[in-house]
Amino acid sequence: MAHWSGDMIEHRIDHEATPITAKPDVLCFGETMGVFTPAASLPLDRAEGFQLNIGGAESNVAAHLAELGHLVAWAGNVGRDPVGTKVIATLDRGGVDTRWVNRTLSSPTGLYLKEPDTGSGAHVFYYRSGSAATELGVTDAAGWPTRTALWIHTSGITPALSPSCAALVEHVLDTAAEWGASVSFDVNYRAGLWPVSEAAPRLLGLARKASVVLVGLDEAATLWGCATSVDVHELLPDVPYLIVKDSSIDATEFARHSDGTATQTTVPAHEVEVVEPVGAGDAFAAGYLSALINGAASAERLNRGHSLASWALGSREDFRPGHGPHAPNRFAPDLRKQIA
């Protein structure tokens, strides 16, 4: 079990959440943005009223993990603007520790517009160039609770934001073992951020350094030409836990165990009426990680991922609250040895 020190970290200016003394079990980092969506289910160019929410792959995972009973923090940069305030306040209300969020005057919080599915699928339009998150770098990690967190989670979105963000992700993956932490890495390829020719080798290299890798088979096909989950495993044979998600069909886990054995487990996806797919991958990641942290068996890990993803698919929100806790906040004592 981790040993929590009783020291306090000073809160950011303007942040008035109740002080928290415990350090997080899980640290997620990346970009969280403001999300503008039409109040009515209309195309963006016809909408007259909008709602402001927040969205970000890593903070979505953090919010789900908090609901599942884990001590979890999200670290990143937001602007000293109303959207940045919204990001922090929303995560605070959801039980996510935001003490390690930096607010900057030099750059704004990123934004995106989300057009609901009006017959041709949902569409997302990003306005994140030059955002506060792009200023993240290796020096930021020095102030994070990396030496007390047992898990660190990030995604392939972050290294695409800027050279300094790429260096940060590389640094965390290279140094996590020294900190005593395991890293989960969701590939999360975004074509709008970088071309396949650049993303494919970089994401593969980063994934090979992680303890847990989550990737969609469609992403693996685009990036690396993979046709099956086995093809993906052949590219990442040494990853302790590789999860390949085949959309609405199934998810397969390839696991290497401490005794030298390896297993392959496939669990079908749950049948669900899809309202909107945005955020389902983050929900799956959180459900799977929660089960892994709590020592559940392979099939149960995948099933919990499917369960949370199914819940997310029934909402237009990037993060759908209310799924409820599955397990107590308990780190399986022998799990870190298994994946070291």
Locus of tokens 């993240």: 136
- Chain-centroid distance, C-alpha 320: 14
Cα–Cα distance measured from residue 326 to residue 319, given in angstroms and rounded to the nearest whole number: 17
Q: Between β-strands 123-127 and 111-115, what pairing exists: parallel, antiparallel or unpaired?
A: antiparallel
pLDDT for the residue 336: 35
Neighbours of 123 (CB within 10 A): 13
Q: What is the pTM of this model?
A: 0.85
- Whether residue 23 contacts residue 5, with contact meaning beta carbons closer than 8 Å, is answered with yes
Locus of tokens 């209300």: 93
pLDDT for the residue 329: 36
Provide the residue-wise pLDDT of the chain in tens; the chain has 340 residues.
Answer: 232 222 222 233 333 343 455 789 999 999 999 999 888 888 888 888 998 999 999 999 999 999 999 999 999 999 999 999 999 999 999 999 999 999 999 999 999 898 877 666 778 889 999 999 999 999 999 999 999 999 999 999 999 999 999 999 999 999 999 999 999 999 999 998 999 999 999 999 999 999 999 999 999 999 999 999 999 999 999 999 999 999 888 999 999 988 888 999 999 987 766 555 565 789 999 999 999 999 999 999 999 998 888 766 545 565 556 665 533 333 333 333 333 3
- Whether residue 283 contacts residue 67, with contact meaning beta carbons closer than 8 Å, is answered with no
Cα–Cα distance measured from residue 317 to residue 91, given in angstroms and rounded to the nearest whole number: 14
pLDDT for the residue 163: 97
* Amino acid (one-letter) located at 112: Y
End-to-end CA distance of the chain: 15
Where in the sequence numbering do the catalytic residues fall? 282
H/E segment holding residue 201: helix 196-207
